Structure 1
Amino acid sequence: MKRKTNRRPPLLRDISWSRLAEMFGNPRPPLSISEQQFDYCDAELRLLASQPYLSMDLSKLGYYYADLAFVELQPDLFDYLFPACLMDWHRSLADNRPCGGGTAEIHFAVSYGQVFRKMLSPDRLLAVRNFLLDSFLARLDAETRLFDIQNAAPSWCWIRRINSLARIVDLTELWEQWWSLGTPGRAIAAIQYVSALLYFDDENPLFPAELTPVLWSHDSQIHHAGWLPANGEFLSQSFTAEFVKRKIQEAVAMLPAGQEREKARQLLTDLPAQEELLDHRIAELPGQLLSPDPAEWTV
């Protein structure tokens, strides 16, 4: 396959406060708040809900994440604060950090509180999913190095986040967009990902043994379930050994000439000797991702 030149990345919709506000009808801060904050921090919730988006302290959204999980939600308050939750999700992904902490964590809150079912119309749910997809693809597009000894976080955090996301939404379109390998960043992410399938931890040429990606690691507080069943079924059907072999070739071809491309080319060189391990791990991966308590690789 010949590498295309002057290839432009796929266009993503704008990731902005204006987009988020439009998704929820350009809401204004509620005139009154009847919702009782789960930890009795009503004053903190009222202060958060009175702030304009551009000056909102997103670090205080933990108060609202607890409400999403555990209390009856006030609709106009939800319409105003949930766009901020999505922006926090986007920024935490870009910064390689979890989105909240403890049970005041966005993925757990959305799942436990059944927020998408209770609070979002089909059209609004689609808009939310599209925003999450665009945010995640932008994160992949930002990848420039297969591994940086000074900053190992990127190779871990986006893998953790995709596994958190797979617990709450359908990943089919995101997976297809990623593996179309339309940008060098997505190609780098693909090489990072498949390296954990091709090698034992102490043999991976891209990562030190202690920093080899764990493909079922996640940054959510959802510990009672793994990937949604529909996501696991899609992975089982589409992510085959032949698919992976083809995508390694395409990913290497996508990278510009230089050090990263030469590192990625090592996977192509090693592939014939690693096919048996790849076959085993490809077969095992969906079960690991679907499990709430995955074990180590069996091989």
Structure 2
Amino acid sequence: MDSLFRLQQPGLSKFVSASLIIHIVILAVALLLVQGKQGRVFITPTYTKVNLIAPQATKKKAPAKAVKPAKAKKKVAIKKAKPVVKKTEPVVKKKAIALKKAKTPPPVAKPVEVEQKVSIDDALSKLEKKVAEEEEDLMVAAMIERLAKKTEAEERKKKELLEELRAEIAEYETANNSVDAQSSANAFEGLSSEIFDLKFKSYYNKVGAKIQSLWIYSGDAHKELQTLITIKINKNGALLDYWVEKKSGDHKFDDSALRAVEKAAPFPVLPEDYNEEDIEIGLRFCPGGCVENN
């Protein structure tokens, strides 16, 4: 029958177990409460009546759906509030302004002394300028004096030469009063003649110098070479004729002398006091220097 009772009341064991657990919990709590007191404590056991109720025929309930555990809520990290920092305006340091010391004005010079100094400087500068001008004047005067002396000496020398020339001309005219104009014009046929008219000395020199400047001889210059050439010139200086009076024996040398005469023409006009229409002049060409024959 016991087995039948168990079969008919399957939930009885569960209720008994639950009752025991409740009693154990109550005892444990009581022990904890009286743990600190001395002496023994006797606990009278209490009984709990359990009514056995026959189980009613119950409809089979659908198995309860498994309840899913609720998702754990995410922990929200609470941000700590930052301490409010009050902005403080930067303290502007004021630069200390150095007060400049008032400059003491320089002592004013006495106007009298300044005027004296200026007047002295002006006087010195004027004096220096005057001295420089005087020195310059002295230098100019000395230069003029030297030039005057030089010019005077040159004029004196010219006068002396002119007097000598006039004396020679007078002496020549006195010695040759019997010689007519035609003979005097032809008295010098060649440079070897020592008798010639002093009036034409300068003219002959000009003609000879012009021919000599144009004479070019590229052969051997022997002292023995010598040629005489006569030229005929009219009043206007034109070359009328020329010929060889004496050959040197070297035709190249003679040709070089003739070419020099041709290149030199025309010549200077004849002197005004010469009354003839033309004049003949003898020229001697010597490469090594001419030696007049006695």
Does TM, normalized by the shorter one, top 0.5? no
Structure number with greater CO (CA < 8 Å, separation at least 6) is 1
| TM-score, normalization by structure 2 | 0.20
* Structure showing greater Rg: 2
Structure with more of its chain in helix, by fraction: 1
More strand by share: 2
